[in-house]
């Protein structure tokens, strides 16, 4: 669960603007759509892929506006019998922003406090939300001005090397691939709607791998999933498809087109049908397409039947079906 800290109160809307920007088209979430290595200056490449290392981001990263500051910092693990260890991780901006969104909702909006939560693919980073001119702001800025690395302190009682973390992630991804290599419907109970289950797992919900966190309390549950092979070729096609969805939807939003309850996006033999009992916000479609594109970048190209629910607000459920065009359902 995100822990809250007694800070001067950040502003919820200002923090949301830093995370997602206007119409979900900018902000931290939309910096780019690639996976990065997040390291402190002086670190050398270890478990990161060549692509992640080429796109490395040096920590700390700080974003600010009048009412909010957000910092992405590492952990500083203190050990009983050796030097401190600074963490490192890989990740993408959308997933990191989604963790920040949960902190913004749970701490800033609901409790009028700042807060933080682990982020990154192996949760070895911290996204920290606080108010400008607070004591935390002064401390972080003082560290930066004096060439120190701001970090969240933790005690490393059970020390393990970065290599073992990488091995654990490989095992998780192998298990993840096995779970989704199915062709039939799968029945499963709706997951518990609490923070421990969902926060920080935009790619795969740890307690239920058929759940995706879209941020702002939106959870997508996959009822049927079909893997697409070969992975590289399928991924390239799906990334182009979701980019088409984002571009078309952005144009509709910019033109003030009224949202509708049913619509279909088609490109290169793929068809995405979205249906609901109420108008589907264009902003939600952009967020959904970007999140699914990020999953595809993470080597999860799939066709699916899914439903999106909001764990906080009482709003209409949204159904999503991605299929090959020859078997896709007709729009109403």
CA distance 145 to 294: 35
**Alpha carbon separation from 253 to 25, 242, 257 (Å, rounded):** 11, 16, 6
pLDDT digits 0-9 by tens, 57-101: 999 999 999 999 999 999 888 665 667 889 999 999 988 998 898
pLDDT digits 0-9 by tens, 159-192: 333 333 333 333 333 433 333 332 222 333 222 2
Quick one: which of 187, 157, 183 has its CA closest to 85? 157
Which residues is 69 bridged to in the sheet?
64, 130
CA distance 303 to 321: 8
CA distance 48 to 37: 6
Quick one: which of 239, 238, 307, 247 has its CA closest to 273? 307
Q: State the pairing for strand pair 57-58/36-39.
A: parallel
182 CB-side CA count, 13 A: 16
Provide, rounded to the nearest whole percent, the portion of the chain with pLDDT above 70.
72
Does the predicted TM-score (pTM) go above 0.85? no
pLDDT at 23: 58
pLDDT digits 0-9 by tens, 126-158: 999 998 988 788 889 999 999 999 988 765 433
Two structure tokens written together for 330:
């007709």
């Amino acid at each position: 669960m995100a822990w809250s800290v007694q800070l001067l109160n950040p502003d919820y809307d200002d923090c949301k603007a830093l995370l997602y920007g206007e119409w979900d088209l900018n902000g931290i979430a939309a910096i780019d759509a690639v996976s990065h290595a997040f390291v402190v200056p002086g670190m050398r490449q270890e478990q990161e892929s060549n692509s992640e290392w080429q796109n490395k981001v040096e920590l700390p990263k700080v974003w600010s506006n009048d009412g909010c500051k957000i910092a992405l910092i590492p952990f500083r693990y203190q050990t009983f019998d050796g030097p401190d260890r600074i963490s490192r991780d890989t990740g993408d901006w959308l997933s990191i922003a989604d963790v920040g969104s949960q902190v913004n909702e749970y701490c800033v909006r609901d409790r009028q406090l700042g807060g933080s939560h682990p982020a990154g693919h192996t949760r070895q980073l911290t996204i920290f939300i606080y108010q400008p001119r607070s004591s935390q702001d002064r401390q972080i800025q003082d560290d930066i001005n004096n060439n120190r690395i701001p970090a969240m302190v933790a005690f490393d009682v059970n020390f393990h090397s970065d290599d073992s973390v990488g091995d654990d992630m490989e095992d998780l991804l192998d298990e993840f691939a096995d779970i989704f290599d199915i062709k039939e419907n799968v029945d499963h109970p709706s997951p518990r709607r609490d923070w421990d289950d969902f926060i920080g797992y935009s790619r795969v919900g740890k307690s239920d791998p058929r759940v995706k966190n879209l941020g702002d309390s939106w959870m997508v549950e996959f009822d049927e999933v079909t893997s697409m092979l070969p992975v590289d070729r399928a991924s390239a096609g799906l990334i182009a498809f979701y980019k088409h969805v984002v571009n078309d939807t952005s144009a509709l939003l910019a033109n003030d087109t009224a949202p509708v309850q049913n619509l279909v996006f088609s490109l290169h033999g793929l068809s995405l049908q979205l249906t609901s009992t109420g108008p589907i916000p264009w902003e939600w479609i952009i967020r959904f397409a970007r999140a699914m594109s990020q999953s595809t970048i993470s080597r999860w190209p799939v066709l699916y039947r899914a439903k999106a629910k909001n764990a906080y607000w009482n709003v209409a459920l949204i159904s999503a079906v991605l299929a090959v065009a020859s078997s896709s359902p007709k729009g109403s």
